[in-house]
Structure 1
Amino acid sequence: MTLRFNSVRTQLTTAFSFLLVIIVAMSILAIYALHDATEAFSSFVHGIDARKSVAEEIRGAILRRDLAMRDLVLAGTPSQVNEAAERVRQTDNEANRLVRQLKDMAVHASDASATTIEKIEAVERVEAKYSPLARRIAELGAARQHDEALRSIDEQGRPALASVLQALDDYASYTRDRSQHLLAQYEQDDRTDRNIILTLAAISLIGALLLSIRITGNILKSLGAEPTTLKAIAARVAQGDLRPIREVAAAKPGSVLASMGDMQSNLIARLTAVAAAARQIEMSSTQIAASNTDLSTRTEAQAGSLEETAAALAQLSASVTQTAENAMHASVLVDGVDEAISQSTRMIEAVRTQMDQISASSGKMGDIIGTIDSIAFQTNILALNAAVEAARAGGHGKGFAVVASEVRALAQRSSASAKEIRKLIDESVEQIRRGGNVAKDAETAMGHMTANAGKVGLTIKEIAHASVEQSEGIAQINLAVSQIDSATQSNAALVETTASASSALQLEAQNQSAAVGYFKFDEADNVQKAADSAPTPALQARRIPQLSYARAGL
């Protein structure tokens, strides 16, 4: 027997349906056989056996009637005569009644054959001859005509009685033969039914055995291993053990065990990618932290340079005031003022250059934060894919689904932090751009001051006017320096925020690596290779040049 169904349910349904059909067929056959046996027994009891009993009763009635006639002839007293005569009438009536009953039973019986009716009619004919003779003999005996009665008994009664008994014997013999024939037929039918039932039982047993062997083999092929082995493997996977399963090599393609092997391979591939991404995030966050430390140092240096610039501007303001008060010394101080103006111009140019560099560095930081955001997005996608794979695994992937959900939450938090840092960097870039414009304006003003200082040598009258212009230029410079200082303070705060965010990102990356480390599989080298081959964010290449500020030598 070959089952060509892939579904275990279909196989089991087919097998049990087959057995059910066999059982129903056997039950129906047994019911019909029992019904036929019951019908046959009932027909025998109410047919042949009942008629045989009536025939025996007829024999008994006839013999009693014959005995009553003899008693009547031999009776000595009138009371004995009357009693014997009454017995003759009763037994005669009984014999006639039984003969009619026997014939009626044969005529209305479905199992009575023509021979049966013929035998009963023969009994009826001889009884019809003997009954009047018996009544006449009884009348002779009652009339005390003993000799005539005895002669009738000897000459007519005995042959008639012999004929009736012979007819009853013929009927009894035929009934016995008929009973033996029916019994043989019933036994043959019983053997036939028994053989059919035994054959169906053997077929059902053989079919059940073949089906059980076949279905067991199909189920084992579908599972790929024993259920206890599958349970142990599932328990290992649930505990995070993703090391290779030895039994998978012998599993049939498409079986549950082979599917578990494929699932394990896919999980290892996904975890390898997640682990590599976690290492990259950790490395990138470390580099960002180092870059933030470097940027903080340069910001402090910039603040010191700004303090020196403010001191230089204070000295320049004092010099201009002194020039206005003492025009006589203007010619002497022209060279010093010109030099101071030149230094201020150079310092402002350096400030503007540094502001441009800070702006460029901020843009690079924005690129770095974009890289972090992209990594967080990819991590979120990988975590989502892992959650989908875990959902497909059902109850076996429940633990991994929890881990994937945590990884996805960490990636989303990293993305949110990157967006906040990008926003702060954009605000800093805008403020630096404004500071650069102010520095440019200050540079232009310093150019004017240089031109005015050149005119001091031409006319002393213009010294006062030049001093006023210089005072105005210095005021603008002070304003620009204040704006630069404000921008520097903002940069410092932003650097601290970025450092805090990078530390949090590094901690989250470590947590993510620890979560991936829950799983055990022989793919550590692959994880390392994937991490080494992944593109490393070029943070080291994007070093912000060390700011160098000219010190005011006033």
Structure 2
Amino acid sequence: MKLSTRLITGFTAIIILLMITASASLYGLGIMNGKFREIVDVNQNETKFAVNMTSTVRDRAIAVRNLALITSQDELNTEWARFVAQSEIYIKNKKMLEELFAREPTTTETEIRLMSLIEKNEAAAMPLLIKAAQLGKNSNRQEATRVLLEEARPVQKEWLDNLNKLTEFENVLNVQAGSEAQQTFSVFFKLLILLTIISIICGGALALLITRSVLRQIGGEPAIAQSITTAIASGDLSKNIILSEKDTGSIIFSLSVMQSRLRDIVSGIKQTADLISLASDEIAQGNTELSARTEQQAAALQETAASMEQLTSTVKLNTENAAEATQSAKLTSQKTDQGGRSVKKMISMMSSISGSSTKVAEIITVIESIAFQTNILALNAAVEAARAGEQGRGFAVVAGEVRTLAQRSSVAAKEIKQLIGESVDFVKEGTVVANDTGKVIEDIIQSINDVSTVMSEISLASGEQSLGIMQVNVAVGQMESVTQQNASLVEEASAATDALADQARSLKEMVKVFIV
């Protein structure tokens, strides 16, 4: 059950008990108010009216007696006025008593019966009292005394007895109502005490249960949880959190688990930051070495470019020589008389071609060596890029392209070397033919045709060689461009490494806030 639900349930139960107590109190007060109203507003007024009526009956009897006894006219008038006034008071109180009996639902049969008897007594006594009073007022005292004593007194006595009975009955009703009110008060007083005790016990039990439940859910005092969260918020993860043996789901237990996991995370971050810092240093060192190798490769490519220029000149010279040899062969075919001299000249030219072919072969060997070294450098660059990880991925792609170009250069050099070898062989054959021509002049025309054919092949081979060299030049240019890109990548890798080192240092500074 949620904490809010428990609190709402507890307070609702207490409120219900208070409502029950208040309802019982209000109900008891309502009953007692009814009893007190019955006493004060009903019974007491009924008693007052009955007493007033009794008093007026007695006062009128006294006035009639005085009228029968006194002789002074003034006193007679006074007593007569007294008689009349008391009669009016009686009538007024009687009317109010009758209205009260008629209005109140608590009017009893006894009250109605006594009121009926009183009215009968009044109807019987009043004419006699009036008669006696008038006789006394008219100074007929003897007759007034007789009427008062013999006729009016018995009826008046019964009248007063019934009025006294009504007064006594109203007093009894007052006593009963007071007793009932006292009993009601006693019952509800005990009930309120019982409900109060039950409310206190239930409230205390609910408070104890809710307090234990809340403390069990928190895992201890709220101040302890607050101190733990404050320490964690300030970065102190070294505080020892004491838990009970069976505590596996409280807030403090969760804080303990969170602190332990944060401690592990921060420790891992610290170790990772150290490793990143170390790796960034190693990457920086690798970038420095890679930069040096890139510079060496650029220098080697410049040398290769210069060698290729020389090779281009040589091939061009070979092409020109082949063209001249072809022309010479044609001239020799036309001028057989100059065959000997032409043969000697051809032998000389073939020697030059042989020397040039040897030089070309040597240059091609150099190119092949350069291509091999470039391949090695590209392989090393790929290894260094692999070490650089994500930052060196682009550099690895460039290194692969350089390696591919180096391999193509090596293949082209081998093809050129093969062609040069064939050219040397052709030159040797031409030399043999030239020597044989000196011995066998009659075969000179055929030999010249053979030489012309060979020279055509040499010219074709020289063209192919020139094309291959152009491709090598393009490859060298691409390699030089790649080398420049490599240098830029190395600079970018160095900048990234510096940024990584800065981030690692910043991470270490931030993690220093935590105490593990």
Report TM bin, short chain: 0.7 to 0.9
Give 1:487 deviation, angstroms: 3.8
Letter in 2 for 1:350: S
Superposed displacement of residue 133, structure 1: 1.9
Partners of 2:512 and 2:206 lie apart in 1 by 48
Distance 2:515 2:8 in 1: 42
User: What is the alpha-carbon distance in structure 2 between the residues aligned to residue 318 and residue 104 of structure 1?
Assistant: 152
Q: Which runs of 5+ in 1 are unaligned?
A: 1-5, 374-417, 522-554
* Partner Cα distance (2:304, 2:348) in 1: 25
Compared with structure 1, are the counterparts of its residues 471 and 249 closer, same or farther at alpha carbon in structure 2 (3 Å cutoff)? Answer: farther
CA contact (8 A) 2:67 2:76 kept: yes
The answer on 1:45 being equivalent to 2:45 is no
Between structure 1 and structure 2, the one with the greater Rg is 2
Tell me if structure 2 keeps the 8 A contact 1:348–1:443: no
List aligned pairs for 1:5-404, cutoff 5 A: 6-92=1-87, 94-95=89-90, 98-99=93-94, 101-103=96-98, 105-243=100-238, 245-248=240-243, 252-309=247-304, 340-365=359-384, 367-369=386-388, 372-373=389-390
My pick for the range that moved more, 24-33 or 56-65, is 24-33
User: What are the Cα deviations for residues 434-492 of structure 1, in whole angstroms up to 9, with x where unaligned?
Assistant: 34323421331122123323443443587998699669847546565555444444433
After TM superposition, the score normalised by the length of structure 1 is 0.73
Residue aligning to 1:499: 494
Within 2, Cα distance between the matches of 1:441 and 1:229? Answer: 81
Cα distance in 2, alignment partners of residues 443 and 189 from structure 1: 129
Q: Is 1:446 the equivalent of 2:414?
A: no
Q: Which amino acid aligns with 1:346?
A: T
Describe the shift of the 1:291–1:92 C-alpha distance in structure 2 as closer, same or farther (beyond 3 A). closer
Residue matched to 1:423: 394
AA in 1 matched with 2:393:
R
Percent identity for Structure 1 against Structure 2: 24
1:100–1:502 Cα change, 3 Å: closer
Residue 515 and residue 336 in structure 1: after superposition, are their counterparts in 2 closer, same or farther (change >3 A)? Answer: farther
Aligned-pair CA distance for 1:53: 0.9
Distance 1:429 1:106 in 2: 124
- What secondary structure does 2:105 align onto? coil
Contact 2:375–2:407 (Cα < 8 Å) also in 1: yes
Aligned residue pair count: 468
Deviation at 1:96, TM superposition (A): 5.2
Secondary structure of 1:247 counterpart: coil
The residue type paired with residue 422 of structure 1 is R
Match in the other structure for 1:378: none
1:349 aligned partner, one-letter code: E
Change (3 A) 1:492 1:327: farther
- Cα gap change, 1:301/1:90 in structure 2, threshold over 3 Å: closer, same or farther? closer
Q: Which has the higher helix share?
A: 2
Q: Write the deviation string for residues 176-218 of structure 1: whole angstroms up to 9, x where unpaired.
A: 2222121111100011122222222222222222222221211
CA shift digits 1:222-281 (9 cap, x unpaired):
111222221221122122222353224667221111112222233334444444444444
How far 1:345 sits from its partner (Å)?
3.4
CA distance in 1 between partners of 2:356 and 2:152 (Å): 187
- In 1, the alpha carbon distance for the partners of 2:313 and 2:95 equals 167
Equivalent pair of 2:381/2:396 in contact (CA under 8 Å): yes
Residue 251 and residue 229 in structure 1: after superposition, are their counterparts in 2 closer, same or farther (change >3 A)?
farther
Separation in 2, partners of 1:361, 1:424: 11
Distance 1:327 1:502 in 2: 66
In the alignment, the residues of structure 1 paired with residue 483 and residue 371 of structure 2 have an alpha-carbon distance, to the nearest angstrom, of: 13
Aligned position for 1:397: none
CA distance in 2, matches of 1:178, 1:225: 65
Change (3 A) 1:152 1:485: closer
**1:14: how far off?**
1.0
How far apart, in 2, do the equivalents of 1:80 and 1:56 lie? 27
> How far did 1:497 drift?
3.1
Instruction: State the partner residue of 1:456.
Output: 427
